[in-house]
Structure 1
Amino acid sequence: MSRVIIRLLLTLLFLCPILAHSQLEDIDLKELVAGAQEWAEENLDTNVLDALPELDRQKAQKFLRDLQKQFQGEYVINLAALRETANTILPLLESHEETRPYAVWLRPRLDYLKIADEFLITIPPPKVEPGEPAKPIPNPGPIQQRAVWIKEVERRPWPPAASNHVARLKTVFIAEKVPPELVWLAEVESSFDARARSPVGAAGLFQLMPDTAKRFGLSLWPRDQRLQPEPSARASAQYLKLLYERFKDWRLALAAYNSGEGTVQKLLERRNARSFDDIAVYLPAETQMFVPKIEAVLLRREGIKLAGLVTPRD
């Protein structure tokens, strides 16, 4: 398939309604896990992978489906099984212009697979009585997650592209009355590389889905404003502000940014909970790590925790 046709398919994709984790309002976690494979098959933009040779394409398609399934699954530990494959798939995605946005998206998410592998080693399996079936390794608690992520990023340098964006994007966040330190969300989402595109359609520095982008006034046609730093930052800041006003807590707001407002709200209600820590181990696996990773990055870059963020005033 020619590059022109592939790019046309990508353009048309922007105009299609896409169901994704950031827009799920009515969600039951077990139902989501059960249907994740079917969902991935329906939503993965496999046309982009046509640039790869057939065998490589098949490997990449399977990996991306498996990754999305485990990201939305219950258990963090299950991501560890994908680490070796991810390190094989990444060079394939980097080797073609059409698939490089996927590679940009995947690279910062290798952290999740690495940390899951560490938890697989350090968390003891539950005791099983003779004759009982094996039990899954439990999810690490939020305190354990925060400690591991702080250690993981404590000496990490700035992403190469960050110096081109941080100062001016902080100005955008301040204008939207959102703590400017939260621009570092872009490190976790895209390593400050606007080319990043997820296989389910999120794009840009802040990985906005098409519906979310349009909700906050961005245009996807004829030019996708999610790929422009300032408009993307403005929409992201507006969404974060809305989520914080709803949940009154930055950990919960960021969990909702990643997994959907409905996911967080339903868990709070079901567990009669008030805080992120109360529901953390019940969130989708990606979200369980997304929030503490952001907090660790903020501590590394700004020396501040989420609880210490201050809303800008006029």
Structure 2
Amino acid sequence: MMDNVATTLEASKKDSEDDFYANLSFAEENIPLEQEKVKRKLDLYLRKFSYLERSSHYIHKKADKLLPRIAKILQSYGIPDDFKYVAVVESSLNPGTTSHKGAGGYWQFMPATARLYGLRVNGSVDDRLDLTKSTHAAARYLKSLYKEFGDWTLVAAAYNVGGGSLRNSLKRQRKDNYYDLRLNAETGSYVYKIISMKTILEKG
């Protein structure tokens, strides 16, 4: 009798786990969770981001306030809704965040890229700190990347590493899928971080 109960509980647990993974997605594109390395890596960042969400409500509060505004702008450019989580991963929605390389603002634009997509960055004005202006710029940039790569998951990777670098990796490795590429540690984990942040914030 106890063996039957244990078997039933184990089956129920597996069904629940399968349902959880079946509901995961990024920009309506397939996540190859049948690949053990993909599932293992995603589990790693889900655990990390779950801890982050428990330890601080700052990001969650900011997300509730700002993500609807970001999503509306992205939608106007035809950018998938999931890309609003790029801003969360990039800056934790804190515009004052600046990387050691000089990337700044909500979307962590480098000054030259920011100017290329219409933002003012100089000694007196920094449009990267303006949510509306910087999100319009990010949407234009994402749209240009999609025009080149034609795949939203690759667009996310290119946003992190740069279009030229990703293009070279695709050509050199003769791959056409983010999950099959060998990339630097930051870019190789980037999409997993976005998916994990999306999962944690939507769950809450």
Per the shorter chain, which TM-score range? 0.7 to 0.9
Counterparts of 2:58 and 2:146, CA distance in 1 = 27
Residue 165 of structure 1 aligns to a residue in which SS? helix
Counterparts of 2:190 and 2:44, CA distance in 1 = 13
Which of residues 48, 51, 62 is equivalent to 1:152?
48
Counterparts of 1:174 and 1:189, CA distance in 2 = 19
Distance 1:189 1:286, change over 3 A: same
Matched, 1:180 2:50: no
Distance 1:262 1:142, change over 3 A: farther
Counterparts of 1:243 and 1:230, CA distance in 2 = 20
TM-score, structure 2 as length reference: 0.72
Matched, 1:267 2:169: yes
Counterparts of 1:272 and 1:180, CA distance in 2 = 29
Counterparts of 2:130 and 2:162, CA distance in 1 = 23
Q: Deviations over 1:234-285 (max 9, x none)?
A: 1111111221222122221111111111111111111111101121xx2111
Matched, 1:299 2:195: no
Structure 1 position 141, deviation (Å): 4.1
Matched with 1:248 is 150
The gaps in structure 1 that reach 5 residues or longer are: 1-139, 304-314
Which of residues 281, 284, 290 is equivalent to 2:184?
284
Matched with 1:236 is 138
- Which amino acid is 2:115 matched to? K
Matched with 1:227 is 129
Contact 1:181 1:302 in 2 (8 A): no
TM-score, structure 1 as length reference: 0.48
Structure 1 position 153, deviation (Å): 2.4
Structure 1 position 161, deviation (Å): 2.4
Matched with 1:163 is 64
Mapping of residues 181-200 of structure 1, within 5 Å: 181-200=82-101
Counterparts of 1:154 and 1:242, CA distance in 2 = 33
Structure 1 position 158, deviation (Å): 6.2
Counterparts of 1:297 and 1:158, CA distance in 2 = 14
Which of residues 210, 220, 230 is equivalent to 2:111?
210
Contact 1:142 1:277 in 2 (8 A): yes
Counterparts of 1:154 and 1:200, CA distance in 2 = 28
Distance 1:154 1:250, change over 3 A: farther
- Which amino acid is 1:284 matched to? N
- Which amino acid is 2:191 matched to? V
- Which amino acid is 1:165 matched to? L
Counterparts of 1:161 and 1:188, CA distance in 2 = 13
Pairwise CA RMSD: 2.0
Distance 1:209 1:143, change over 3 A: same
Structure 1 position 147, deviation (Å): 2.0
Structure 1 position 162, deviation (Å): 2.3
- Which amino acid is 2:46 matched to? I
Residue 233 of structure 1 aligns to a residue in which SS? helix
Contact 1:173 1:234 in 2 (8 A): yes
Q: Deviations over 1:18-55 (max 9, x none)?
A: xxxxxxxxxxxxxxxxxxxxxxxxxxxxxxxxxxxxxx
Counterparts of 2:82 and 2:156, CA distance in 1 = 13
The gaps in structure 2 that reach 5 residues or longer are: 1-35
Counterparts of 1:237 and 1:158, CA distance in 2 = 25
